[in-house]
Amino acid sequence: MSLFPLGLLSQGGGAGGGGAFEQIATTFGTGSSSTLTFSSIPATYKHLQIRVSANNATGFSGLSVRFNGDTAANYSRHFLNGDGSTVTSFGASSQDRSLVGIAGSGTTNIFPATIMDILDYSTTTKNKTIRSLTGYAQSGANLVYLYSGGWYSTAAINSITLFDNSSNNFNTSSRFTLYGIKG
C-alpha cells in the first residue's frame, strides 16, 4: 500500500494529483523547553501537515498537540502500534490534548520521525481530525504507530502547540516543519 494517496508521505509540490505543499514555518528545539508553538497560521490552505524529527533529553515519550491554546477536555486520542509480532491499541476521549507521535529517544543520534496531518483546519463548520504516523528502531525495538485524534471545536486553527508528554526538553537538533496543503 502506498502512503502517498493518504497525504502522509507526499513529496509535495507539483501539478495534478493531490494538493501542492508549501512550507509555512520551521523551528528547532531550544534545549530548554518541552513545548513549541506555531502561531499566526494563515487560513489559506485546505489542510496542514507537520513533520517532526525530535529528540528529548531522557527517553521515549509521547508527543501531543493542542490547538489555539484550548485546554478544555474536548480532544480524543487513539493509536495502533505494531512491532512485527504484537499489536497494541488505545483510545480515550475527554482529553486536554491529543497524542500524535513519539518525541524522542534520549539517545544522542536517534530522532524518531512523525508526520501529522490536520484536516480541514480552517473550516468553521466541523470539528477537526488529526492523523499521524511515527516510528523508531532502537535496541531491538522496531515500532510503528498510527495515531488519530479529534479536536471537538469548529473554530479555525490559528496556533498549534506541540508537547513532550513527559516534559522533557527538545534538543537543538529537533526539527519541526509546518506545511500548508492546497486543496
Q: Which residue has the higher pLDDT, 180 or 143?
A: 180
In this predicted structure, what is the pLDDT of residue 18? 59
In this predicted structure, what is the pLDDT of residue 117? 96
Cα–Cα distance between 76 and 62 in angstroms, integer? 15
In this predicted structure, what is the pLDDT of residue 4? 40
Three state DSSP letters for 166-177: CCCCECCCCEEE
Q: What is the DSSP string of 37-89?
A: EE-S--S-SSEEEEEEE--BSSS-EEEEEEETT--SS-EEEEEEEE-SS-EEE
Q: Does the structure show a pLDDT above 50 at 3?
A: no
How far is CA 90 from its chain centroid? 17
Lowest mean pLDDT among 30-34, 72-76, 151-155, 177-181: 30-34
In this predicted structure, what is the pLDDT of residue 5? 41
Strand partners, 142: 137
| Backbone torsions φ then ψ of 5, nearest 5 degrees | -65, -25
Q: Which domains does the chain have, with CATH numbers?
A: 20-181 (2.60.120)
How far is CA 37 from its chain centroid? 12
Q: Does the structure show a pLDDT above 50 at 13?
A: no
pLDDT digits (tens, 9 = 90+) for 83-137: 888 999 999 999 998 888 876 665 667 777 889 999 999 999 999 999 999 887 7
Q: Does the structure show a pLDDT above 70 at 16?
A: no
Q: Does the structure show a pLDDT above 60 at 7?
A: no
Contact between 66 and 39 (Cβ < 8 Å):
no
In this predicted structure, what is the pLDDT of residue 138? 66
pTM given for the model: 0.84
C-alpha dist (Å) from residue 137 to 65, 141, 171, 173: 23, 5, 19, 19
In this predicted structure, what is the pLDDT of residue 12? 44
Q: Which residue has the higher pLDDT, 19 or 160?
A: 160
pLDDT digits (tens, 9 = 90+) for 36-95: 999 999 999 999 999 998 877 666 678 899 999 999 999 999 989 888 889 999 999 999
Backbone dihedral region for residue 180 (phi beyond 0: left; psi -120 to 50: alpha; all else: beta): beta
Residue carrying C-alpha cell 480541514: 120
